[in-house]
Amino acid sequence: MPLDYRISERTLANGLRVVVNEDHNVPTVTVNLWVNVGSRHEATGHTGFAHLFEHLMFQGSANVASGEHFALLMDQGGRLNATTWFDRTNYFETVPTGALDLALWLEADRHGRLLAALSQENLDNQRDVVKEEKRQRYDNQPYGHAIADMYATVFPVGHPYHHSTIGSMEDLDEASLEDVRSFFSEHYGPNNTVITLAGDVTPEEGFAAVERYFGGLPASAAARREPVEPLPPLDEPVRLERREDVPSDRLYLCFRLPVDGTDEFFAASMALDVLGGLATSRLYKRLVRREHLANSLHAAAWGLVDGVSLGFISVDVADGVNPNRAEAALTEELDRFALEGPTAGELEAVMAQNERGWLQHLASLDERADAICGNTLLHDDPQFINTILDRLGAITGEQVKQAAATYLRPRNRAVVAYLRAEPPAGEEPVEPVTDLPSGLSQQAAVVDKEDR
Amino acid sequence: MSTDTSTATEASLPGRPPVTPPADWTMPTATRWTLDNGLTVLAYDVPGQYVLSVRLAVPALPSQEPQEREGVLGILAHTFDEGTEEHSAEDFADLLERSGAALGSSSSEHGVIFDLDLPRTRWDEGMTLFGECLRHPAFPDDEVARAVRRRLADIEQEKVDPRSRASREFASVFYTPDSRVSRPGGGSAASVRTITAQDVREFYRRHIGPVGSTLVVAGDLSAGPAGEPAVDVLATAERIFGAWAAQPDPVVAPQQPQRAADATKIVLLDRPGSVQSELYVGCLGPDHDVEGGWAAYQVLGFVLGGAPQARLDAVLREEKGYTYGVRAGFVPRSKDGIFLSSGSVRSEVTVDALRLLLEILANARDGFTEKELRSGADFMRMTAPSRFATADDLASEAAGLALEGRDTGWSQQLLDDLGRLTTTDLDSAYERVPVGEWTIVVVGDAQVYREGVEALGAGPVEVRPA
């Protein structure tokens, strides 16, 4: 049975799509904007720029002083932030109903008139802040570069997802005011944006308020390019090994999945749940519960739009266990699953957990507005939150099996291995896994070097 | 192509719109019952919340663990659902996941909280499983052994994470060794390694039961428009927990931690090659029962280190670009608390960042402005509807307070107090904080800043290996 969140949609003359989810349970409104620009749009030599730009959106615009965006909204009980990812950049705040107009006014000013307040000082300051963000979250953390290594290993050089959203220090250092100006002109504008209001507002009020502040902005953003060509699954395994001062050996098995929003992606995502997403998952049972090869194991599918999505399984190898043994058990289960497919009980558990997960996600206005906005921008599907559970429920065991056989075979994997600098005494030395063609390991390492 | 839209469209933006003050909002209130065995039951009806959040808060304390078995409560909290008298660990996980429910747990110096989240449509079967694992857990030998190994691995991870490492060192420097909170809540490698399933069963038998415990249920409990029956919280609580026998050991109050006499010092945990320094700076703070009320400290935390425009980040982040963000706030304990500031800065600016941080906190003694008071108090007050909007938010707040012997009426009182605060209240609240008696831990490359930190004169400096 579909869910029945009330969702209304209108497109302004300048191309801004406005979606309103009316819900009067709480006297607040969440304002959420998705702009169709992310790190996938960054050119070589400009990695990390979409995110740096997002920081500058808080440093003032034509009618707003630097730092005022946060202060004005927080003074009114607003909670706000922004995030940047491969596919998009989003800006959001949840405010008491009476501050909705102020929030829209602030958003319209920075989304339409940012450059009037741009200064070298602000750029230099936020460049420093972003570099500290990179150091804190990645450079100064154990396994901190694993995520970037995953992207660089599973996606080829030149692919939009080959580099991470945080980018490189060198590229951040090179960012100039002219880069900011041209990025804004090319990517920001109502015709490249969706705005969603969720909460204590009627559709008529919401449409009128958005028109009031955004209606005068020109459709300034350049047309989007087409998505890049679909990227087929790897047909030979690829491997990148790092020896570092990490507390335990960790393996990331990465897979290229179909693009987000397709039944095939949902089926692959459910396959990863059956394999490693739940406490009853096959890999968890075998590696963690029964054979004690791993301390923990996680699996996830990240839906993306540019020709490919990312699936991965991460394994923290137990002390004293050769990581190759853990990997061998893993690949054996991948092969078995591709042949057998899921049992009815496994599918039931995955669906039951999906259902609770989505209902819980949609229980908060912030998350709900985000889900509506994202699916409108990237998949032209404002009603997504009402239909997703039915769509998932219609995926058959045969589809899950087919997805596993196509995308999640051992030969489709790219492995990123973070291994302790020196194996503890008593542990057998790590030999290359047997199904890895010679030369590929080195090739992946070179690929990664180009990235940083 | 690159036309500057700012001039072209300036005229079309209306003036800055006024804000209509929010209507009065009050915390949802609970229906409260007490079962014959002493279990308190709280039900919050929150319309539109179709996933119900259930919390069982039990006053079983880390300070009740035998010292050589510290971490046993944490292991209990991680294994209570790994098999019951009726079902093996795998079978139970299977039943639970197919019911759409999710279990979790957390523990603190005040006790342990067991979590269940489940779709409203699965209420009866979910609660039956919750009762089964809480009343008849098996703590199988192999599952406990696995949880011990997992905890040992986590301890290794915590050691290398700069923030966890700083936090752990801070607690051991700040508190006396007799204070349980001077050591990790989840135990140390030495104590955890010795924990057996028998230890867990014994701790469970003695300390987990209905006396002093609170069951919280939050979510949409009313009858639905499509004929869904109302959720009968009391009847279900009686069915699941009504016959639960009292735990034999008496419930005791959490231990009152003591600050160490020599806590005023600077410890540099040396990690050669670190690209950043993790700063962890604290002194004694108030607890929830502080004279004058807790509300002032919520505002002080916000004004000093709760936002990008707060005093610390206005300088350290927005002016200097030293950090992604430094946070300050008041951490209450059962007696007193900690006034804590923390964040990471790049290695080469460590001395200047620390100097500025201490200077900003010292200068705050000169007083707070009316504007700061308003922004902090209004933020805390007016975010309440969204901070407590979901069943999860509300149930977690209620369960945490229950372990302190409070209910969400206390949260409402806090919101009311926020509206009445004056700058004099803020100033005298901050006057009570012994600013200057700092315990400082820095995790990073000590050689880069050791001499400079010594020259700050903020306390004796000691370098330790990380």
pLDDT digits (tens, 9 = 90+) for B420-461: 999 999 999 999 999 999 999 999 999 999 999 999 999 999
- B160 contacts A247? CB cut-off 8 A: yes
Query: Tens digits of per-residue pLDDT, B271-316?
Result: 999 999 999 999 999 999 999 999 999 999 999 999 999 999 999 9
Percentage with pLDDT > 90 across chain B = 95
- A355 contacts B119? CB cut-off 8 A: yes
CA distance B18 to chain A (A): 7
What pLDDT does A2 receive? 73
Q: Which of residues 128-157 of B touch A (CB under 8 A)?
A: 146, 149-150, 152-153, 156-157
- List, in sequence order, every residue forming a beta bridge with B281; answer none if it has no partner: B341, B440
B225 touches chain A (CB under 8 A): no
Query: Tens digits of per-residue pLDDT, A211-240?
Result: 999 999 999 999 999 999 999 999 999 999
Query: Tens digits of per-residue pLDDT, A244-295?
Result: 999 999 999 999 999 999 999 999 999 999 999 999 999 999 999 999 999 9
Query: Tens digits of per-residue pLDDT, B153-175?
Result: 999 999 999 999 999 999 999 99
Please tell me which of the candidates B22, B309, B318 has its beta carbon nearest to residue A27. B22
Contact residues for A217 (Cβ-Cβ < 8 A; gap 6+): A14, A16, A108, A111, A112, A189, A190, B5, B9, B12
Q: Which CATH class is domain B31-241?
A: alpha beta
Q: Which of A422-426, B262-266, B344-348 has the lowest mean pLDDT?
A: A422-426
For residue B95, pLDDT beyond 60:
yes
Query: Tens digits of per-residue pLDDT, B171-228?
Result: 999 999 999 999 999 999 999 999 999 999 999 999 999 999 999 999 999 988 778 8
For residue B1, pLDDT beyond 70:
no
Closest-CA residue in chain A for B97?
A349
- Between CA A331 and CA A336 the distance in angstroms is 9
What pLDDT does A298 receive? 97
For residue A197, pLDDT beyond 80:
yes
- B8 contacts A218? CB cut-off 8 A: yes
Looking up tokens 């970037």, which residue turns up?
A: A148
Contact residues for A277 (Cβ-Cβ < 8 A; gap 6+): A298, A299, A300, A350, A353
What pLDDT does B24 receive? 86
* Residue type at position A360: Q
What pLDDT does A7 receive? 98
Residues of B in contact with A366 (CB under 8 A): 386
Query: Tens digits of per-residue pLDDT, A42-88?
Result: 999 999 999 999 999 999 999 999 989 999 999 999 999 999 999 99
Q: What is the 3-state secondary structure (H, E, C) of A170-187?
A: HHHHHCCHHHHHHHHHHH
What pLDDT does B228 receive? 83
Domain B265-465: which topology? Cytochrome Bc1 Complex; Chain A, domain 1 (3.30.830)
Q: Please, are residues A29 and B386 in contact by the beta-carbon 8 Å criterion? A: no
For residue A156, pLDDT beyond 50:
yes
What pLDDT does A36 receive? 98
- Between CA B24 and CA A143 the distance in angstroms is 48
A121 touches chain B (CB under 8 A): no
For residue A445, pLDDT beyond 60:
no
Residues of B in contact with A363 (CB under 8 A): 48-51, 390-392
- Between CA B249 and CA B211 the distance in angstroms is 10
Helices A384-393 and A344-363, axial angle in degrees (round to 10) = 170
Helices A384-393 and A263-272, axial angle in degrees (round to 10) = 70
For residue B3, pLDDT beyond 80:
no
What pLDDT does B278 receive? 98
Residues of B in contact with A345 (CB under 8 A): 94, 98
What pLDDT does A422 receive? 73
Query: Tens digits of per-residue pLDDT, B359-390?
Result: 999 999 999 999 999 999 999 999 999 999 99
- Between CA B358 and CA B348 the distance in angstroms is 18
What mean pLDDT is reported for chain A?
Answer: 93
DSSP state, A242?
E
In chain B, the largest separation of any two C-alpha atoms, in whole Å, equals 78
Assign A423 a pLDDT band (cuts: 50, 70, 90): low
Q: What is the 3-state secondary structure (H, E, C) of B23-65?
A: CCCCCCCCEEEECCCCCEEEEEECCCCCEEEEEEEECCCHHHC
Please tell me which of the candidates A74, A94, A189 has its beta carbon nearest to residue B379. A74
CATH 3.30.830.10 region(s) of chain B? 31-241, 265-465
Residue-range domains of chain A with CATH? 7-214 (3.30.830.10), 238-451 (3.30.830.10)
| Cβ neighbourhood burial of B373 (10 Å; 0-12, 13-18, 19+) | buried
Three-state DSSP class for B150?
helix
Q: Which of residues 349-408 of A touch B (CB under 8 A)?
A: 349, 352-353, 355-356, 359-360, 363-366
Contact residues for A403 (Cβ-Cβ < 8 A; gap 6+): A258, A264, A267, A268, A270, A271
What mean pLDDT is reported for chain B?
Answer: 96
Residue A232 Cα distances to A306, A307, A309, A439, A446, angstroms: 12, 9, 10, 21, 22
What pLDDT does A114 receive? 97
For chain B, the C-alpha Rg in angstroms (whole number) is: 25
Please tell me which of the candidates A28, A132, A295 has its beta carbon nearest to residue B346. A132
* Residue type at position B279: L
Query: Tens digits of per-residue pLDDT, B330-354?
Result: 999 999 999 999 999 999 999 999 9
| Cβ neighbourhood burial of B390 (10 Å; 0-12, 13-18, 19+) | buried
Residue B248 Cα distances to B41, B203, B310, angstroms: 21, 11, 49
CA distance B246 to chain A (A): 31
**How remote is the C-alpha of B87 from its chain's centroid?**
33
Please tell me which of the candidates B117, B159, B324 has its beta carbon nearest to residue A247. B159
- A108 contacts B392? CB cut-off 8 A: no
Assign A421 a pLDDT band (cuts: 50, 70, 90): confident
- Interface size A-B, in CB pairs within 8 Å, comes to 244
For residue A449, pLDDT beyond 50:
no
- Between CA A117 and CA A59 the distance in angstroms is 8
What pLDDT does B225 receive? 78
B410 touches chain A (CB under 8 A): no
- Among A140, A246, A321, pick the best mutation site for testing chain B contact (most B Cβ within 10 A): A140
DSSP state, A161?
T
Helices (H), A200-262: 203-214
Q: Which of residues 51-90 of B touch A (CB under 8 A)?
A: 51, 89-90
A296 touches chain B (CB under 8 A): yes
Assign A424 a pLDDT band (cuts: 50, 70, 90): low
* Residue type at position B454: E
- A245 contacts B160? CB cut-off 8 A: yes
Three-state DSSP class for A279?
coil
Query: Tens digits of per-residue pLDDT, A370-382?
Result: 999 999 999 999 9
- B22 contacts A79? CB cut-off 8 A: no
- A363 contacts B390? CB cut-off 8 A: yes
User: Beta strand B265-270 with B323-332: parallel, antiparallel or unpaired?
Assistant: unpaired
Assign A425 a pLDDT band (cuts: 50, 70, 90): low
- Among B7, B12, B375, pick the best mutation site for testing chain A contact (most A Cβ within 10 A): B12
B12 touches chain A (CB under 8 A): yes
For residue A447, pLDDT beyond 70:
no
